């Protein structure tokens, strides 16, 4: 068993028989400023989900495709998003590492009682890792993209206000 040092929300990773690998959440540069190094965090990553994640990217819903057209290549204020990103034992629709933000598109498959319960459990597990969520209905993305983008921009405004850039980096 491997215990990560100085990590606030992932005390134990890599248990025997586990397929969990880690991916960096944040990497900073010191730019010659001695010991001033930002903390590096890792999110668990189930490597068995890589192929399934690729399959999901190749078979996206219309709402996911439309939202991806707005998020891709740093289109929203320069923030980079990944789509169908494996995190822990789940795959999220969209993920921005810098914002610790997960965006989920809820279509008709999410309206069943068991899916609602599973979504709540999944979201709770990922929120315990420091991730924040925005959820949008598939129909809202198709019919009211301006509102969806405004909501994402509002989240970014709040994030930037509470997390001003460090002038040392």
pTM over 0.75: no
The 10s digit of each residue's pLDDT in 21-54 is: 444 444 444 444 444 444 546 788 788 898 988 8
Given this model, what pLDDT does residue 160 score? 95
Q: Which residues form the domain of 116?
A: 2-162
CATH number at residue 104: 3.40.960.10
In this predicted structure, the answer to whether residue 73 has a pLDDT above a threshold of 60 is: yes
Q: How many domains does the chain have?
A: 1
Retrieve residue 156's tokens. 């970014």
- 168 part of a folded domain: no
- 35 part of a folded domain: yes
In this predicted structure, the answer to whether residue 85 has a pLDDT above a threshold of 80 is: yes
**Residue 90, class by beta-carbon neighbours within 10 Å (0-12 exposed, 13-18 middle, 19+ buried)?**
middle
Confidence of residue 104 (pLDDT cuts 50, 70, 90): very high
Length of the chain: 169
- 85 part of a folded domain: yes
**Residue 96, class by beta-carbon neighbours within 10 Å (0-12 exposed, 13-18 middle, 19+ buried)?**
buried
């Amino acid at each position: 068993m491997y215990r990560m040092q100085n990590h606030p929300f992932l005390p134990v990773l890599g248990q025997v028989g586990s397929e969990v690998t880690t991916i960096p959440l944040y990497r900073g540069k010191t730019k010659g400023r001695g010991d001033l190094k930002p903390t590096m965090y890792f999110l668990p990553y189930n490597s068995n989900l890589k192929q399934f994640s690729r399959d999901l990217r190749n078979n996206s819903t219309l709402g996911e495709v439309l939202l991806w057209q707005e998020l891709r290549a740093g289109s929203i204020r320069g923030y980079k998003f990944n789509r169908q990103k494996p995190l822990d034992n789940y795959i999220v629709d969209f993920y921005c590492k810098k914002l610790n933000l997960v965006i989920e598109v809820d279509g008709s498959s999410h309206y069943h009682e068991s899916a609602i319960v599973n979504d709540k459990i999944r979201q709770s597990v990922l929120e315990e890792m420091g991730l924040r969520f925005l959820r949008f209905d598939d129909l809202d993305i198709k019919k009211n993209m301006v509102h969806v983008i405004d909501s994402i921009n509002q989240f970014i405004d709040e994030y930037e206000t509470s997390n001003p850039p460090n002038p040392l980096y």
